Amino acid sequence: MAEVSFQQPTTTDRMVFHLSGTEGTWVRDKVVTEWPLTLYLNGEEFVTLVASPDHLDELVTGFLASEGVIQSLDQIRQISFDPETGDARAELAVDTAGLKDKLFARRYITSCCGKGRAAIYFDNDYRTAKAVASDLTVTPGEAQDLIAKLQESSDVFRATGGVHNACFATPEEGIWVARSDIGRHNALDKLYGWSMIHGRDVTQAVVAFSGRVSSEILLKVSKMQIPIVLSKSAPTELALAMAEDLGITVVGFIRGDRLNVYTHVQRVVLA
């Protein structure tokens, strides 16, 4: 794949009227940049992603892998970006004719955990979601430490409070790589793209994440074969049903010295 470097400013300065009690003053503040990126596959418009405009080569790569469009990095011949139009063009060594309709038009309804709970998958999710088998463990202290370090790692979050953060990490090595984005799905796709571009095995890492663990987030984690997802926020019931079915440990509401372990509790061990 041709090497790609594409970065645009992720924040911009803006004058805002700041009130504190009854006192008000004009101050210069930073706000996040929102970038509509239209993705073309082999010349055909595929989708528009609204994202933070950094690490866009990783975003496109991870998105294509997560959606089941590609199975390996060598199926990407080239990615190019046009900052004037907001377009990304990916030349792929796969047949993409009619792919958009095939991937997103049909849903499968299956049961989770043999308990009659319906899980709705698009065709690409049905084909690419995988059960995770891993004996990786974390302690409560390690989980809390990784979430704290994740929040500290994001300059954009500290400046604006307007992005989601995600990282690959291990209890022994700490954070491998962290990514931020206005879209929580995009932050995970950037991580997925990073792992593919750099050839890193992440199956014995955890994902630490700032946002809500929805079913879509859980599916992305399963496609990367990550055994543990840590979040300072809440999960949804459908995400937990999928996590039970797919063998993923979900730890949420990691705040201070508290946390909740929702699924596959054997991976969280008391020190």
Within 10 A of 268 (CB to CB), how many other CB atoms are there?
18
Confirm if 109 and 119 have CB atoms less than 8 A apart.
yes
In whole angstroms, give the CA distance from residue 186 to residue 166: 10
Confirm if 250 and 243 have CB atoms less than 8 A apart.
yes
Backbone φ/ψ region at 148: left (φ over 0), alpha (ψ -120 to 50), beta: alpha
Residues catalogued as catalytic: 113
In whole angstroms, give the CA distance from residue 222 to residue 232: 19
SS3 assignment, position 193: helix
Within 10 A of 61 (CB to CB), how many other CB atoms are there?
26
Confirm if 119 and 126 have CB atoms less than 8 A apart.
no
Q: What is the 3-state secondary structure (H, E, C) of 42-54?
A: CCEEEEEEEECCC
Half-sphere exposure of 254 (CA within 13 A, CB side): 29
